[in-house]
Structure 1
Amino acid sequence: MRSHRGATTLDDLAADLALALPPPWAWSHLTAARLFRLPLPSEWTGAEPLHVLRPTECAQVRRPGLVGHRGLEHRQTLTLRGHPTTTAVWTWSDLASLPELSVTDLVIAGDALATRDSALLEQLVAMGRAGGSRRGSRKLRAAAELLRSGSGSPMETRARLAFLAAGLPEPELNATVHGPDGHFLARVDFLWRAAGVVVEYEGDQHRTDRRQWQNDIARVRLLEESGLRVIRVTSLDLFDASRLRVLVAMLRGLLT
């Protein structure tokens, strides 16, 4: 079969290739993760092969542009925007078998799922702990213990992992802050409530969006007037080792 429309999105390409696949099958691994729109370290390109899963007793699909896997009978599937796909939990589990993904990458993807649906957190952790001897099981177990619900972005997950690695107490994620009279003040990225410390991660949109920048200034002022100490961090604070040490030392002094 040939497609003349020239697929420009993963959804279109998956729909085209689905016409040539012998059932039963489902999209899995990296392809399923992209269909779930999980945050991954690389963007999709049309040159990326699609991962397809079939039962163990069936022959793997061998054709250009596809990577075949076996084990469909052991996994749960669903239909996602018309695509047969492994479930979110199984998709996350299968990502651990990909050598290009790190433990941090798995935590970022798992946090995204657990934040979308907090009920998934327990299932993801259980899946990670029961990884057995499958490829990537050690990486999966390590990631499962680090998953949390409430992360607002991949960089917020990276910040949280940096705080944990430094031995800091765990903060509340996307926590609601109220004033002394009980009225709502703000929802903040990280909150150590007892110490009265807030960390806000500032993505680039906080700098380039004029209205966002103005709102941020007013928001920080409001939080500080309520007695909270607000620390604003950027990606450089997380990726530059010396700046991260300074940030961690500052937080440790405020939290102890």
Structure 2
Amino acid sequence: MSASPKRIELPALFCSADRAEHGLSRYQPTRSRGATRIHRGVYEDAGRTRVVIAPRWADPTWIEVQQRLAALQTVRPDAVGSHTTAALLLGLPTPYRADALLHVTVPFGTRPVRRPGVVGHASRHLDPRGHCGVRINRGDLVIHELAGHLRIGDLIAVFDALLGTWQDTPDLTAEELRDLLTGRVHYRGRRTALEALTRARAGVRSPGETRTRLAIVAAGLPEPEVAPAVRLPSLPTAIHPDMAYVGPRIAIEYEGPQHRLDESQWDRDIERYGALVRHEWIVIRITRRTSAARFCREIREALELRAVPV
């Protein structure tokens, strides 16, 4: 949870048995009183609200997933948020859309949830924890679930987040993450997880940086250092480009949307870029719209200009 959470007001939830409390008769269409069905037998009442204490970075997708999971748990309290559903609510970068399927897990031996829009699992490895008004599986068990559920590139992004500073995800050392992945002998995707661990890096600040680094390596280019300390005579302290080839003085900066929205961040970026250029660094700036072919070509040209074999 963020050190500075925020309060979010969401439509109140109710079950079919509670229709009368929300001003609806047994046969009255729910839409006639501003109620919307979320799951079979569960509705949200637009005329009433409930308050959720959410992380400061919670976006519309986070809010939608929290509401859908909370609605499901009103009728299936044994259904624990898991896999990418739990990962999204924990702030991990997963390829999850608001209209994607919910993943929930029940104790082994219990009948998994079978509902439209829901993927049900049953597992012996279940330890429910309260989180922002819903119940999700314990964080380390979620990592094991993701190992058997995500492609390796997406799993590397998760590990980068765990080792880095993206949002409020737990800070782990590489040794702690390795212990987490090797401490359990049998789980689906273990081999993929251990391979992803060798390619994860500490200090990554966004999933966009992960995707950029992986694309650079996939293009056959040398892997840049992540957030190296660069000391320039004109600055009092070291700066940390997102990625860099320090020897040939080439910096790679990934410009996420938060850079434009945060004026202080933007000012610091401008100062850093100016200092690098004054000291004859090549600065390659990338956004999420920059194609991999384009930025890899620019990096290759910069390396060749600095006489680095590629």
The TM-score, its normalising length taken from structure 1, stands at 0.77
**C-alpha contact 1:131 1:141 (8 A) present in aligned 2:** no
Partner deviation per Cα, 1:41-71 (whole Å, 9 max, x = no partner): 34212xx332111222222223333321122
Please list every run of 5 or more consecutive structure 2 residues that lacks an aligned counterpart in the other structure: 1-14, 16-41, 50-62
How far 1:125 moved relative to its partner?
Answer: 3.4
1:40–1:109 Cα contact (<8 Å) kept = yes
Q: Go from structure 1 to structure 2 and tell me whether the alpha carbon gap of 1:39 and 1:119 turns closer, same or farther (over 3 Å shift).
A: closer
Higher normalized helix content (fraction of residues): 1
**Which is worse superposed, 142-151 or 230-239?**
230-239
Aligned pairs (5 A) from 1:17-36: 17-23=72-78, 25-36=79-90
Residue pair 1:125, 1:147 contacting (<8 A) in 2 also: no
Q: 1:248 to 1:76 in 2, by over 3 A?
A: farther
Compute the displacement of 1:208 (Å). Answer: 8.9
1:231 to 272, 279, 284: 284
Which of the pair has more CA radius of gyration? 2
Distance in 2 (CA, whole Å) between partners of 1:181 and 1:219 is 10
Q: When the two structures are aligned, how many residues end up with a matched partner?
A: 248
TM-score (norm 2): 0.65
Q: How does 1:96-135 map to 2 (within 5 A)?
A: 96-98=147-149, 101-116=150-165, 117-119=170-172, 121-129=174-182, 134-135=187-188
> SS at the partner of 1:3?
strand
Q: What is the identity percentage for the equivalent residue pairs of Structure 1 and Structure 2?
A: 30
Q: Distance in 2 between the 1:121 and 1:44 partners?
A: 31
- Provide the alpha-carbon RMSD of the alignment: 3.4
Q: 1:50 aligns with which of 102, 118, 128?
A: 102
Do the aligned partners of residues 113 and 202 (structure 1) sit closer, same or farther apart at CA in structure 2, a change above 3 Å counting?
Answer: same
Q: Deviations over 1:54-95 (max 9, x none)?
A: 222222223333321122x32454322132212333223312
2:120 and 2:104 map into 1 onto residues whose CA distance is 5
1:94-119 residue CA offsets vs partner (Å, 9 max, x unmatched): 12333xx4211111122122214332
Q: C-alpha separation between the residues in 2 aligned to 1:49 and 1:217?
A: 41
Partner of 1:11: 66
Matched residue, 1:84:
135
Structure 2 match to 1:64: 116
Q: For residues 181 and 132 of structure 1, do their structure 2 counterparts lie closer, same or farther at Cα, with a shift above 3 Å needed?
A: same
Relative to structure 1, is the Cα distance of residues 245 and 227 closer, same or farther in structure 2, using a 3 angstrom cutoff?
closer
